[in-house]
Amino acid sequence: MRFFASCGKGLEYLLADELAALGCVRATATVAGVNVEGELADAQRAVMWSRLASRVLWPLAEFYCDSEDVLYRTIVELPWSTHLAPGRTLAVDARVSGDGITHARYAAQRVKDAVVDSLRRETGARPDVDLESPDLLLNLVVRKGRAVLSVDLGGGALHRRGWRRAQGDAPLKENLAAAVLLRGQWPQVYAEGGALLDPMCGSGTLLVEGAAIAADVAPGLLRHGETPPSRWSGFDAAAWDSLRQDALERERAGRAALRPVFFGSDVDPAALESVRANAAAAGFGDAIQLEERQVAALRPMTQLRGLVASNPPYDARLAADAQLYRGLGDALRRIAPYWRASLLCGSPELARATGLRAQKVYQVFNGALECVLLVADPVQPPLREDAGPRPLSPGAQMLANRLRKNLRASKSWRTREGVDCYRAYDADLPEYAVAIDVYTEADDPDATWLHVQEYAAPADIPDADVRRRFGEVLGAAREVFGVPRERLATKVRARGKGGSKYGAAVERRGEFITVREGAARLRVNLFDYLDTGLFLDHRPLRTRMQREARGKRFLNLFCYTGAATVHAAVGGAASTTSVDLSGTYLQWAADNLRGNRVDGRALGGSAHRMVQADAVSWLEADTGEYDLVFCDPPTFSNSARADDFDMQLQHVRLLRAAVARLAPGGVLYFSNNYRRFKLDEEAVAAFARCDDITAETIPPDFARNPRIHRAWRLRRR
């Protein structure tokens, strides 16, 4: 079963790791949440133990929905007497986007009406609405014409831990505070004997949350008390009681062993009173030590190691003073030079104002405010002997400016679509003829790798100029992306013998990284081969096939490293068959499937075959039927193990054999990146209906290069 755990933007990967640690089968980060595979018991465990989730949503129905009438008619037919017992209360939250349904409150009202009318028809009685503490809280999301109706298993926002008695002007949500602490590795710091300091503690959210983590107190204990968080009829009350008893035992042991190593200070005495009230309500009044003190007057910490976690003021209601941040950085270097620091800053400029050398920088959101989470370890790094990076040349600075412009322009699209691997630059400036691709590690979203490929320079450009310009490219890329040299892969075209031909020099390292593409995890190798194992321009086509793959027999011809096969398998394909002549690529494809918990055994009872063969010969001998076929052949192939292949000359033969294997209603997607390719439309029309879908398959990051590939959709006549 799949359910959804929502969270603030920027916390998705942390939450995915947390849910996996809590025992969920698979947790895949998406925008503002995580798609989770697991049982109801896993979802209820997340309600009790997740420190990062905002809500845990268990789906009841998913359906096409383009109007309030469709919404009402669909929901009124659901068996509501099995979900809500007589005498129970109800409330509905709704979020909508798109043209069909535009008013969230009205959508929530229509859902409520449908439930009430259904129950009145079935039982003769209607439930009451309780907006404060409903027995059943429903959550509706309508996006792009699809509606998902879910039970909010936590009964409301999970960041409310139940201990807050007082707060300042801009309180920090508890789950964001947990993220600040976890990014600062607070559990490890505490286990190693370290302390926690918040020198601008406000109402004490970081201190109380840090104490709860150290004492192993489940977030759901105070929030829900002895009452289950939901009285939905499907809620497993016995399992919840077992979870609660286990959490109580862990809490007793954790509180008994808790060390009083929590230190807070603030210039506002009213804020310190808020901390005392909140700490007492959470049961940590004796563990937290407070002082009314200016940051500049902080005293050196006696513990050798610890974590400084703080949320200095920065939003529109509280002054964002760069001088304040500079003073904070100076104070931390003086009082805790060997500690870690995890600081939630209002902007990159304010983060830089601290003067701390960031080990990691994370983009997070405090409500609607985009913030920067800076992690430094240690606060005061050892002095370096070198004089620092050289200033960029005028040309490199021009390229750096263009890179920043491209990143700003694509930011909203990348965030909306959850794109982690993309083309950031593609010869936008003629004198810097390179392609720069960004790859982000799946398990560490702040581990960025760059893949820089140089296009062949005209013969009249001197080698010295080619080398100089490429050096400027690398300098600009490293400055903009902040990557170390070891995470920058280059494919440099060097003149061959005679000075007329170009070959690409590669660096053999045998190093793979795993990246995410939607719900798929894929291995890439940036150094050892001309290509990385993932063609980024085919991202929309792979996503399209994943959407269409559920329950279908999928065939991937010239499968390369199996990225399309993985998407089909993750999308629920009944079976997949991947064909390639290269044993290396087939092993890579098999590793990709295993990385998604898919192998030759079953995924929902389906087999996943790897076939080492010449694709054309295999097709002409095969007798199987397939519902969905992907064919992305090379332009040329002259392998010693098969007949020579010329895609332009042999594409009709290839497509005729592939279309012959389509089941009734089946679809073949054909793509290639040969710029001079001409489809023999008349010959293909004899056996297939063929539509050019190229424009639909070019992603925004390749829009400047629309001939990167061409694609067609074929169906058998």
Q: Is the peptide bond before 378 cis (omega within 30 degrees of 0)?
A: yes
User: What is 2-152's CATH number?
Assistant: 3.30.2130.30
Answer yes or no: same fold for 174-215+260-376 and 535-716. Answer: yes
- Nearest Cα neighbor of 525 from 454, 459, 451 is 451
The predicted-structure confidence for 622-646, as pLDDT tens digits, reads as follows 999 999 999 999 988 766 556 678 8
Position 318 pLDDT exceeds 50: no
pTM of model > 0.75: no
Tokens of 442: 């799946």
Q: What is the pLDDT of residue 530?
A: 86
**Where does the pLDDT of residue 209 fall: very low under 50, low under 70, confident under 90, or very high at 90 and above?**
very high
State the CB neighbour count (10 A cutoff) for residue 619.
24
CB 189 within 8 A of CB 217: no
Interval 423-428 mean pLDDT: 95
Position 604 pLDDT exceeds 60: no
Q: What is the pLDDT of residue 640?
A: 54
Tokens of 309: 């976690």
Tokens of 128: 């009451």
Q: What is the DSSP string of 400-416?
A: HHHHHHHHHHHHHHHHH
The predicted-structure confidence for 275-287, as pLDDT tens digits, reads as follows 999 999 999 999 9
Q: What is the DSSP string of 459-518?
A: TTS-HHHHHHHHHHHHHHHHHHH---GGGEEEEEEEE-TTSS-EEEE-------EEEEET
Q: What is the DSSP string of 543-569?
A: HHHHHH-TT-EEEEET-TT-HHHHHHH
Q: Does residue 52 sit in helix, strand or coil?
A: coil
In the chain, where are the structural domains located?
2-152, 174-215+260-376, 394-505, 535-716
**Where does the pLDDT of residue 234 fall: very low under 50, low under 70, confident under 90, or very high at 90 and above?**
very high
Name which of 131-135, 304-308, 418-422, 598-602 the model is least confident about: 598-602
144 or 65, which is more confident:
65
What is the rounded CA–CA span in Å between residue 482 and residue 374? 14
The predicted-structure confidence for 688-711, as pLDDT tens digits, reads as follows 999 999 999 999 999 988 889 999
CATH code 3.30.750.80 for 394-505: yes
Name which of 107-116, 352-361, 386-395 the model is least confident about: 386-395
- DSSP 8-state symbol, 138: E
Tell me the CATH class for 174-215+260-376. alpha beta
Phi, psi of 419 (to 5 degrees): -90, 120
Fold of 535-716: Rossmann fold (3.40.50)
